[in-house]
Structures are given as structure tokens and as C-alpha cells.
Amino acid sequence: MIDPALFTVTDLLAAMLDDRHGNVDPWRKDAEILPAYRAPFAKPGDPTRCIVRCGGMFLRYSVGCRSGHLWDIYGDDYLTPAYALLALCEAPPPPSMLKVRS
């Protein structure tokens, strides 16, 4: 069994997001996990959602023949921050973070 006391949250996040191991995806450190997000024009009784936001876009999951995570103006509810973090690890970079070659 692996002893959880061997790790800190900061080290685990750095390892998961490649922050200290080569900066493979440095855009992920700019992403936010918002566990109690309320849409700007939500109705008073609407529940909050756990979403992932980066660069003004929200992460969502698409099903079908081209299933996977994508960035859109509407985000999916990932239910918990742990599920949101797993989705962020699988997500492609948001379009706003891609560099255009000239």
C-alpha cells in the first residue's frame, strides 16, 4: 500500500499537470476549477456546478463518434473537483492558448 503521507498536494498536482517535469502543458496552470459556479443568468433556484474554465472557455465532454473533451462557451458539470481535475488532465489546449505560426 502507498502511504499518502509521502506526498503533498502541491507535488501531486505538479506531477499530474507536468508543472515541474518539463512544462509539457504549461497552459494547465492557468485553468481554474470552480466547484460552485453559477452561470451569469442562472435562475434563482438553479444549483451550482463544478466546472473547468481556461481563457474564457469552459471544458465539456462530447459523446459520439468523435467523443472527448473540448472547449466551448458552455461547460459541463463535473460534479466534484477531483473529476474536474481528471478531465483537465485529458483535455486538449484551449484554442486561445494555441500559437499561430506565421
Q: List per-residue pLDDT tens for the chain, 102 residues long.
A: 888 888 888 888 877 776 555 656 778 888 999 999 998 888 888 899 999 999 889 999 998 888 889 999 989 999 999 999 999 988 888 887 776 655
- pLDDT at residue number 89: 87
**Segments of 15-67 assigned E as strands:** 32-37, 49-54, 57-62
Q: At what angle do helices 9-16 and 81-90 cross, to 10 degrees?
A: 30
**CA 28/CA 37 separation, integer angstroms:** 19
pLDDT tens readout for residues 20-42: 556 567 788 889 999 999 988 88
